[in-house]
Amino acid sequence: MTSALELRQVSKLYGAGPTEVHALRAVDLSVERGELVAVMGPSGSGKSTLLTIAGTLEDATSGTVLVDGVDVASLSASGRARLRRRSIGYVFQDYNLLPGLTAIENVALPLELDGVRGRAARATGLTALEALDVADHAERYPDELSGGERQRVAIARATVGERGLLLADEPTGALDSVNGESVMRLLRTAAHRGVAGVVVTHEAQLASWADRVVFLRDGHIVDQTVAPPGPESLLVASERT
């Protein structure tokens, strides 16, 4: 089966000579649909670079990036833009909603840019807002929404339509821990509905919502979690104590 995202030996180099920085070094990573992967590491470990390269917002210096089996390097600029609109959703720390558009207009926008007619785009957008429980705020502008509601709208925009890859960079930003947890719960649900999700975070509690946690250090993937046993194993452990 083709992975929704596959990085093969991806490296990224910034600068040259004495100012040269290896942001990523020979990274291999595959993410399947239905799986939420967290990339965890300290600041400067290459997390955000990994996400921008996976999202085709930036080119790798070497290595191969495949989105739904398509080698990104083989695409023209317009082909890449189309891939970004159709296949990839982004969730950012500061939501990045357009302030002059309502929630539903923000969510429908990527579909309209891709040629979907206004009414159909709106209907699909509303379905995405409903899935995130913010459909009753559809006509509100971003500044009329709370932080948690804005992030729900942003996730709706990232998952609207047929997107198969969801990329999130520190998506809980300045939210408190309970609201942050809601965001992670939504990302997990979206992934388990059949999207491949990648979340970048430096917080272990947020990363623990993922099915798999990948640890990044100095541009290398140094380790990853193995599929955890079910929560029932905790009951056995607590019985012993």
Smallest gap, in angstroms, from Cβ of residue 240 to another protein? Answer: 11
If the CB atoms of residues 174 and 234 are measured against another protein, the closer one turns out to be: 234
The least distance separating another protein from the CB of residue 35, rounded to whole angstroms, comes to 13
Helix axes 147-159, 177-192, angle to 10 degrees: 10
CA distance 105 to 65: 31
Cβ atoms of residues 202 and 38 within 8 Å: no
Q: How far is the CB of 222 from another protein (least distance, A)?
A: 6
Q: Give residues in contact with another protein (CB under 8 A).
A: 40, 42, 181-182, 185, 188, 203-205, 207-210, 213, 215, 217, 222-226, 228-231, 233-235, 238-239
| Longest pairwise C-alpha distance within the chain | 61
What's the min distance (Å) between Cβ of 71 and another protein? 32
Q: Which is nearer to another protein, 58 or 203 (CB)?
A: 203
CB-CB contact of 93 with 87 (8 Å): no
Residue 156 or 216 having the CB closest to another protein: 216
SS3 126: helix
Which CB atom, from 38 or from 138, has the smaller least distance to another protein? Answer: 38
Residue 29 or 109: which CB sits closer to another protein?
A: 29
Nearest-approach distance from CB 229 to another protein, in angstroms? 7
